[in-house]
Amino acid sequence: MAEWTRRELLAGVAGAAAVGAAAPSASASSSKRRASRGRPFVLASANGARFRNGGPRTAVEEAYARLVAGEDPLDAAVAGVAINELDPADDSVGYGGTPNADGVVQLDAAVMHGGRQEAAGVAALEGVRTAAAVARAVARESQDLLLVGAGAQAFARERGFAVELDLNTDASRRRWQEWRRRRDAEHAGDGDAARQAMVARGELDPLHVGGTIHLAARAADGTLAATTTTAGLAFKHPGRVGDSPVLGAGLYVDGATGAAGSTGLGEANLYGLSCFLLVEELRRGRHPKDAGIAVLRRIVAETRDPRRLDARGRPNFALAFYALASDGAFAGISLYGKFEGYAARFAICDENGAEERDCDYLIAESRA
């Protein structure tokens, strides 16, 4: 596929009255995937099919099994992502997640239920491994939509969640110590430069520098629910909150229309409440793939900060969406098909079992 310049990308949205007017997209695949009607279905970021925490199932398999058993889709989704949150091998979420600049693991999460007005998020939560379950408790047991920091932790403790002094593992603490050493010894205190140096050396997965697992579940009756949970940007400023716990940014569910969630650089997603925008594109009749590409074009057009652009004027970050329409159409859509050499993928689980698939994309590779 021919490489796209920033000028060409912007030309695709220039003059458009709305995102829906964006030009046709570049894509990894022309297929329009659709899940079977009247059957449970699970869609997730790729790490939803890669970790088991010593058990028999991955996140997508756990969520699917619970849907088949008749469990509520939000409960199924939260139980699914808990596998990743509890598994220290997944350093993007929960226990053993990459800590902030002070060496503290702070977690963000949100939930939404498409069949009920049930939604909430928690941010900068310390000491509780399963942030998505805390967000569900906020949604069901309070009238708040977002609890943060010490308040979120106090709520969790009141509701019986185990609160620990430290969610670091030996591995996560070593990563933080290496980052701090590089920041101070090699990069004159520049934490962003130190983080990029670790990516360049293969010490951090560039697709998971921003952490996160998203999982959407559809029950047999068509009810949709979703959750997004994360440890956030690696070595972030203490208190930094990305898109994951913000309704409309890290996820959005409209029971009559569809669900969308995101992984990648939260700041790029927060700016335009991109998951809400994607679901609105579904409402206008777009297939999830086309809706995602349209939203990514808009993000490219709105990314003008030179710190977020590469030498060619293109975004220097990874960002992906996972979209599931109420009619069963679904897609994983990534800004880059390959970012820093890593392929963008997503996971599904249905009656045929779990599998990973390549994302559709806007731009083939992050490097020429």
Rounded CA-CA distance 352/332 in Å is 18
Q: Measuring CA to CA, which residue among 159, 163, 118 is closest to residue 139?
A: 118
Rounded CA-CA distance 272/156 in Å is 30
Rounded CA-CA distance 94/169 in Å is 11
**227 flagged as catalytic:** no
Q: Are strands 345-350 and 353-358 parallel, antiparallel or unpaired?
A: antiparallel
**What residues are paired with 122 via a beta bridge?**
109, 147
Q: Which of 58, 130, 212, 229 is catalytic?
A: 212
DSSP H helices, the chain, are 6-11, 59-68, 73-86, 131-141, 149-158, 170-186, 191-200, 266-270, 274-283, 288-302
Residues 204 and 339: beta-carbon distance below 8 Å? no
Cβ neighbour number for residue 211 with a 10 Å cutoff? 28
Tokens (6 digits) for 152? 């979120």
Rounded CA-CA distance 91/84 in Å is 9
Length, in residues, of the chain: 368
Query: From the centroid of its chain, how far is CA 189?
Result: 29
DSSP strands (E only) in the chain: 41-45, 107-113, 118-125, 146-148, 213-218, 224-230, 251-254, 258-264, 319-325, 330-339, 342-343, 345-350, 353-358, 360-365
Active site residues: 212
